[in-house]
């Protein structure tokens, strides 16, 4: 093809692109006119083609300044606050970085009818009276416990912890992002909307704000002050852990997915929702089944994904749930510490043996103990539970050089879970041997006692003989 033909082709492509843009602008203008004149159904148009219209009032910036409020702005966030500039100056840039990640993980938003960029107005409140004077607070009926969102706006109380100030702002930003297409009346269930907001707002700040990471599990308590989701779960599990013979159902999967109170009233509920969303997004055997949830915006879309998950996966997830919570800690090692999904327990033979790996968390024995039955466990072997500065060699009774979950590190430990996950025991010390009698049909799970954050240091295994009595 000649250079002249190339030029003509380029000119034609450019002309077609301009024509398409003009046609799009004309079509959107016509649609806006039809909506204003009542010739088109607003709900149907916005649900199918566009996100909901930007409902933010125009800010009177002079009035805000006279009330002691400053305004910071980026592409996706206008921030109004009375906080010191040093505390908040990076928040709009961080929100922009989050928007990019939300588009990647949750899917691109529908366009705005008028072609505007997605942008929110957020209020970080120190002295409430300043915002009252500026007349920028939500209606009195909207109680701001930590943060609240309505349409393209959110309000939050300023936090003393720099991490949690950022986290809470990101949490409310995510809610607005997820609900700007269909509003708040048609959304996925609360455990998921709160859980995904908590999950993706959990972040690691980078020196280059735009390179910050979202959706992480903290490796340490330092730098995440005020968050406390893992601590909430650990505190709730403490009583169960300390009383292994008492069975309970407070932490069942069913109680998290279908709570008796439709409103979240406690920090523990937020922690449970976060933990469940993090689990289904990170467990390698669960991710393929649950990943479509991230694109669901309406309750109907979400229910369709739920129904697509095989019943046996839900059943196994219910069993894994209390095991995961019993192990959850900062620095949880994904490669070594998730309990396996595809292990269904069955009625055991009269006796059998299991090689219990010290480098893995809860391990399935494949044994289903019937209600009222007794099983005898006899454990032998030597294995390493740390390798720095030198290996710590343990036998089934554990070694008292260190304690994990209140018991010697390296001790053989059991946990019993009902086949439907409705009830479970706490951690049961086994050591060299123990006899267990169960009050309900139970799956038997075992581990070498250690933290789920340090399994990669371990090596070797114990031999466990399982005898039905």
pLDDT tens digits for range 94-123? 999 999 999 999 999 999 998 999 999 999
pTM for the model stands at 0.87
Q: Residue 102: which region, alpha, beta or left (left: phi > 0; alpha: psi -120 to 50)?
A: alpha
* 300 within a domain of the structure (yes/no): no
Tens of pLDDT, residues 230-258: 999 998 887 655 555 556 655 689 889 98
The whole-number pLDDT of residue 249 equals 58
Residue 423 to residue 191: CA distance in whole angstroms: 20
Residue with the bigger pLDDT between 402 and 18: it is: 402
Tens of pLDDT, residues 201-233: 999 999 999 999 999 999 999 999 999 999 999
Determine contact, residues 68/130, Cβ cutoff 8 Å.
yes
Residues 6+ away with beta carbon under 8 Å from 156: 122, 123, 124, 125, 144, 146, 147, 148, 168, 169, 172
Residue with the bigger pLDDT between 332 and 49: it is: 332
Residue with the bigger pLDDT between 315 and 20: it is: 315
* 124 within a domain of the structure (yes/no): yes
Last residue of a domain, one of 158, 183, 208: 183
Judged against a pLDDT cut of 50, whether residue 18 lies above it is answered with no
Q: What is the band of 37 on the pLDDT scale with cuts at 50, 70, 90?
A: low
Residue 124 host element (H or E):
strand 120-125
* 451 within a domain of the structure (yes/no): yes
**For all residues of the chain together, what is the average pLDDT?**
88
Judged against a pLDDT cut of 50, whether residue 21 lies above it is answered with no
Residue 4 to residue 179: CA distance in whole angstroms: 51
* 292 within a domain of the structure (yes/no): no
Token pair, residue 144, equals 């701001």
CATH number, domain of 113, equals 3.40.30.160
Torsion angle defined by CA atoms of residues 178, 184, 189 and 195, in that order, rounded to the nearest 10 degrees: 40
Percent of the chain with pLDDT over 90: 74
φ, ψ (nearest 5 deg) of residue 167: -60, -45
The whole-number pLDDT of residue 265 equals 75
Residue with the bigger pLDDT between 114 and 155: it is: 155
* 18 within a domain of the structure (yes/no): no
Q: What is the DSSP string of 308-363?
A: HS-HHHHHHHHHHHHHHHHH--TT--HHHHSPPSS---B---SEEEEEEETTSSSE
Torsion angle defined by CA atoms of residues 382, 386, 392 and 395, in that order, rounded to the nearest 10 degrees: -30
Residues 260-284, mean pLDDT to the nearest whole number:
90
Q: What is the band of 33 on the pLDDT scale with cuts at 50, 70, 90?
A: low
* 235 within a domain of the structure (yes/no): no
Q: What is the band of 29 on the pLDDT scale with cuts at 50, 70, 90?
A: low
Last residue of a domain, one of 183, 216, 251: 183
Last residue of a domain, one of 141, 160, 183: 183
**Number of Cβ atoms within 10 Å of the Cβ of 139:** 6
Number of domains into which the chain is organized? 2
Residues 58-67, mean pLDDT to the nearest whole number:
97
* 260 within a domain of the structure (yes/no): no
The whole-number pLDDT of residue 263 equals 77
**Residue with token string 């070498």:** 448
* 108 within a domain of the structure (yes/no): yes
Q: What is the band of 444 on the pLDDT scale with cuts at 50, 70, 90?
A: very high
CATH number, domain of 424, equals 2.60.120.430
Residue 236 to residue 252: CA distance in whole angstroms: 13
Instruction: Give the domain range for residue 431.
Output: 343-468
The whole-number pLDDT of residue 237 equals 81
Taking the CA of residue 235 as centre, how many other CA atoms within 13 Å lie in the half-sphere pointing to its CB? 10
Judged against a pLDDT cut of 60, whether residue 293 lies above it is answered with yes
Among 3-12, 116-125, 188-197, 267-276, the minimum mean pLDDT is found in 3-12
């Amino acid at each position: 093809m000649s250079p002249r033909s190339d030029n003509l082709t380029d000119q034609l492509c450019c002309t077609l692109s301009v024509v398409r843009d003009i046609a799009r602008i004309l079509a959107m203008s016509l649609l806006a006119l039809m909506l204003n004149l009542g010739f088109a159904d607003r709900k149907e148009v916005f649900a199918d083609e566009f996100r909901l219209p930007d409902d933010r009032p125009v800010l009177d910036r002079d009035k805000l300044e006279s009330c002691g409020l400053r305004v910071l702005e980026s592409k996706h966030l206008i921030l109004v606050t009375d906080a010191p500039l040093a505390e908040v100056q990076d928040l709009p840039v961080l929100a922009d970085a989050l928007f990019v990640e939300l588009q990647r993980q949750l899917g691109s938003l529908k366009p705005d009818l008028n072609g505007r960029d997605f942008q929110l107005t957020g209020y970080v409140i120190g002295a409430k009276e300043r915002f009252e004077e500026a007349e920028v607070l939500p209606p009195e009926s909207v109680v701001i416990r930590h943060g609240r969102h309505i349409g393209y706006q959110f309000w939050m109380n300023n936090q003393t912890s720099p991490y949690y100030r950022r986290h809470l702002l990101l949490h409310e930003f995510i809610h607005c992002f997820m609900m700007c297409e269909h509003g708040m009346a048609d959304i996925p269930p609360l455990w998921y909307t709160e859980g995904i907001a908590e999950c993706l707002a959990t972040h690691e700040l980078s020196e280059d704000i735009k390179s910050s990471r979202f959706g992480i599990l903290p490796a340490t308590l330092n730098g995440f002050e005020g968050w406390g989701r893992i601590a909430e779960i650990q505190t709730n599990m403490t009583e169960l852990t300390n009383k292994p013979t008492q069975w309970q159902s407070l932490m069942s999967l069913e109680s998290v997915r279908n709570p008796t109170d439709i409103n979240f009233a406690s920090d523990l509920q937020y922690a449970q929702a976060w933990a469940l969303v993090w689990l289904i997004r990170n467990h390698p055997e669960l991710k393929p089944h649950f990943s479509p949830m991230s694109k669901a915006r309406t309750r109907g879309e979400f229910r369709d994904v739920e129904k697509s998950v095989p019943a046996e996966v839900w059943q196994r997830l219910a069993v894994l749930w209390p095991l995961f919570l019993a192990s959850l800690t900062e620095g949880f090692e994904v490669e070594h510490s998730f309990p396996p999904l595809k292990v269904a327990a069955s009625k055991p033979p009269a006796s059998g043996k299991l090689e219990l790996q010290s480098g893995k968390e809860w391990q399935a024995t494949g044994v289903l103990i019937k209600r009222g039955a007794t099983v005898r466990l006899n454990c032998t072997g030597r294995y390493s539970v740390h390798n720095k500065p030198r290996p710590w060699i343990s036998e089934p009774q554990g070694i008292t050089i260190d304690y994990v979950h209140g018991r010697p590190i390296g001790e053989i430990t059991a946990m019993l879970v009902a086949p439907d996950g409705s009830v479970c025991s706490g951690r049961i010390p086994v050591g060299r041997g123990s006899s267990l009698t169960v009050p309900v049909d139970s799956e038997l799970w075992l581990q070498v006692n250690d933290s789920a954050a340090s399994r990669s240091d371990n090596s070797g295994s114990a031999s466990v003989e399982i005898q039905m009595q």
